[in-house]
C-alpha cells in the first residue's frame, strides 16, 4: 500500500511524472517494479482503481522525449490523449507520448507492462508522427500483436538478468523494432509522412466522432458536412487507415458500448439504454453487431466481465 505521493514518485521514475488521484481512498494498493535494458525501460505495474494524469505541469517536469507503450494484462483502463480515447482490456496495447498531456482512468484492479523509450529510437526506424497512433487500442491476441506481447512479457520477467548482459542494447533495439513494426502494421504506414493538412483533417474527424458518436444520425456524410469537407475527401482520408470511415464510426460505437457494459458505474443501465447512448438506432441492430464483433451477446459480455 502506498500514499499518493509515494506512488507519484515511483511512477515518475518508471514512466513519467503523473498527478495521481485515488478513488475514495488517499492510498493506492499496488506495486511498480522497473528496470532498464539498454535505452528501454520496462515496468510491471499492478494496482487498484485510480486516475493518473500527465498534465501540462507534468509535461514540463519530464526530462526526456519519450514514446510509451502499455500492454494491459488484467483489468480495464481508458487512456485519453490528443482528444482521443482508447479503452484497453487484457492483451491489448496502447501508445502514448510524454510531450503532450494524457490521462489514464484505471477502472478496476489491473496489471500492465509499460515500456518507455526515447522517441529517436522509433523515429529513426519508422517515420510516423506519434499523434497518428497514440490513444488507439491495438489487440495482442493474434498475429504481430501476439508476437510483440509475448516478447515484452518475457523481457519484463527477465529484465534484471538481460539488463546486465552484453546483448542488452541489441535486445532493447529489437523490442523497439517490434513495437514500431506493430504500429506500421496497424497504421499501414507509408515511407513518407502524411501532409500536415491531411493529418489535421484526420484529427478533426476523430475529435468530432469522439464528441458526437452518440447521435444516431452521425455518419460519413454528416461528419463531412459539419466539418466543411467533401464526402469524397472524407473517405479518401481513411484510404491509408486500418478501417474505412464508416467502419471507424461503427467500431467506435461498439467499443464505447463494450466499455460501458463492463464498467460498474453503468450497471444500473439496461443493454437497450447503453445501445441508444452509443448511437445505435435499435437494440436489435446493436445486439447483432455486438455479437459479430465480440462473439458473445451484450448481456453475456456484461456478466463475463
The CATH number covering residue 31 comes to 2.60.120.10
Residue 258 and residue 252 in contact, taking contact as beta carbons nearer than 8 Å: no
Binned at pLDDT 50, 70 and 90, residue 193 comes out as very low
Specify the pLDDT at position 165: 85
Average pLDDT over residues 16-25: 83
pLDDT in tens, 92-134: 999 999 999 999 999 889 999 999 999 888 876 666 677 788 9
Task: Write phi, then psi, for 6 (nearest 5 degrees).
Answer: -65, -40
Q: 272 pLDDT exceeds 70?
A: yes
Which of 187, 204, 237 finishes a domain? 187
Q: Output the nine-digit C-alpha cell for 257.
A: 458500448
Instruction: Give the H or E element holding residue 166.
Output: none
| Residues 137, 119 share a domain | yes
Spatial distance between the Cα atoms of 209 and 216, rounded to a whole number of angstroms = 12
Output the pLDDT for position 179: 92
Residues linked to residue 22 through DSSP beta bridges, in sequence order: 50
Name, of 144-153, 179-188, 189-198, 225-234, the range with top average pLDDT: 144-153
Determine the average pLDDT of the residues in 157-186: 87
Both 213 and 164 in one domain: the answer is: no
- Counting the structural domains of the chain, the total is 2
- Given its phi and psi angles, is residue 135 left (phi above 0), alpha (psi -120 to 50 degrees) or beta? left
Q: Is residue 241 helix, strand or coil? A: coil
Q: What is the pLDDT of residue 305?
A: 57
pLDDT computed for residue 190 by the predictor: 37
Residues 171 and 36 in one domain: yes
Range of the domain at 54: 2-187
> Same domain, yes or no, for 203 and 170?
no
| Partner residues linked to 31 by β-bridges | 46
Compute φ and ψ for 284, nearest 5 degrees: -65, -45
Chain segment 52-86, per-residue pLDDT in tens: 999 999 999 998 899 999 999 999 999 999 989 99
Confidence of residue 191 (pLDDT cuts 50, 70, 90): very low
Instruction: Report which of 70, 62, 50, 60 is spatially closest to residue 114, judged by C-alpha positions.
Output: 70
Same domain, 132 and 260: no
Q: What is the pLDDT of residue 208?
A: 86
pLDDT band at 170 (very low <50, low <70, confident <90, very high): confident
Instruction: Please give the pLDDT value at position 241.
Output: 86
Residue percentage of the chain with pLDDT more than 90: 53
In this structure, the answer to whether residues 125 and 245 fall within a common structural domain is no
Domain boundary among 165, 187, 209: 187
Residue 251, domain CATH: 1.10.10.60
Name the least confident of 110-119, 146-155, 167-176, 212-221.
167-176
User: Do 128 and 223 reside in the same domain of the chain?
Assistant: no
Q: Determine the pLDDT at residue 220.
A: 93
Based on the domain organization, do 157 and 36 belong to the same domain? Answer: yes
Q: What pLDDT was estimated at residue 210? A: 84
Percent of the chain with pLDDT over 70: 92
Mean pLDDT, the chain, rounded, equals: 87
- Examine the domain organization and report whether 183 and 246 are in the same domain: no
- The CA–CA distances, whole Å, from 135 to 22, 100, 218, 225, 304 equal 22, 12, 22, 26, 25
Question: What is the model's pLDDT at position 123?
Answer: 73
What are 178-190's pLDDT values in tens digits?
998 888 777 764 3
Residue 88 grid cell: 484497453
Mean pLDDT of 211-229: 89
pLDDT computed for residue 240 by the predictor: 80
* 142 and 31 inside one domain: yes
Lookup result for grid cell 457494459: 261
Of residues 29 and 65, the one with the higher pLDDT is 65
* Domain match, 120 and 24 both: yes
Domain end: 149, 167, 187, which one? 187
What pLDDT is recorded for position 181?
Answer: 84
Same domain, 250 and 138: no
User: What is the distance between the alpha carbons of residues 105 and 55, in angstroms, rounded to a whole number?
Assistant: 14
Return the sign of the alpha-carbon dihedral for residues 165, 170, 176, 182: negative
Instruction: List the grid coordinates of 179.
Output: 513495437
Amino acid at each position: 500500500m502506498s500514499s499518493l505521493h509515494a506512488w507519484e514518485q515511483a511512477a515518475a521514475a518508471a514512466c513519467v511524472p503523473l498527478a495521481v488521484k485515488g478513488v475514495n481512498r488517499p492510498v493506492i494498493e499496488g506495486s511498480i517494479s522497473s528496470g532498464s535494458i539498454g535505452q528501454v525501460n520496462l515496468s510491471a505495474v499492478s494496482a487498484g482503481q485510480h486516475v493518473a494524469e500527465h498534465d501540462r505541469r507534468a509535461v514540463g517536469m519530464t526530462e526526456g522525449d519519450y514514446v510509451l507503450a502499455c500492454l494491459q494484462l488484467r483489468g480495464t483502463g481508458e487512456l485519453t490523449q490528443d482528444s482521443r480515447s482508447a479503452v484497453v482490456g487484457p492483451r491489448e496495447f496502447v501508445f502514448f507520448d510524454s510531450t503532450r498531456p494524457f490521462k489514464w482512468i484505471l477502472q478496476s484492479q489491473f496489471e500492465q507492462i509499460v515500456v518507455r523509450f526515447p522517441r529517436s529510437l522509433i523515429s529513426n526506424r519508422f517515420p510516423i508522427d506519434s499523434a497518428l497512433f497514440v490513444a488507439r487500442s491495438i489487440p495482442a491476441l493474434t498475429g504481430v500483436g501476439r508476437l510483440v506481447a509475448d516478447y515484452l512479457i518475457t523481457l519484463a520477467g527477465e529484465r534484471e538478468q538481460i539488463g546486465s548482459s552484453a546483448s542488452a542494447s541489441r535486445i532493447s533495439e529489437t523490442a523497439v523494432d517490434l513495437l514500431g513494426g506493430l504500429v506500421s502494421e496497424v497504421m499501414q504506414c507509408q515511407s513518407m509522412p502524411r501532409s500536415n493538412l491531411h493529418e489535421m483533417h484526420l484529427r478533426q474527424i476523430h475529435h468530432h466522432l469522439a464528441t458526437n458518436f452518440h447521435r444516431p444520425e452521425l455518419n460519413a456524410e454528416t461528419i463531412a458536412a459539419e466539418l466543411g469537407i467533401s464526402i469524397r475527401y472524407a473517405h479518401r482520408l481513411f484510404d491509408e487507415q486500418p478501417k474505412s470511415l464508416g467502419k471507424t464510426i461503427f467500431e467506435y460505437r461498439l467499443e464505447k458500448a463494450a466499455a460501458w457494459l463492463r464498467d460498474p458505474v453503468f450497471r444500473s443501465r439496461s443493454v437497450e439504454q447503453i445501445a441508444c447512448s452509443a448511437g445505435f438506432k435499435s437494440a436489435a441492430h446493436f445486439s447483432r453487431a455486438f455479437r459479430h464483433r465480440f462473439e458473445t451477446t451484450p448481456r453475456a459480455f456484461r456478466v463475463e466481465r
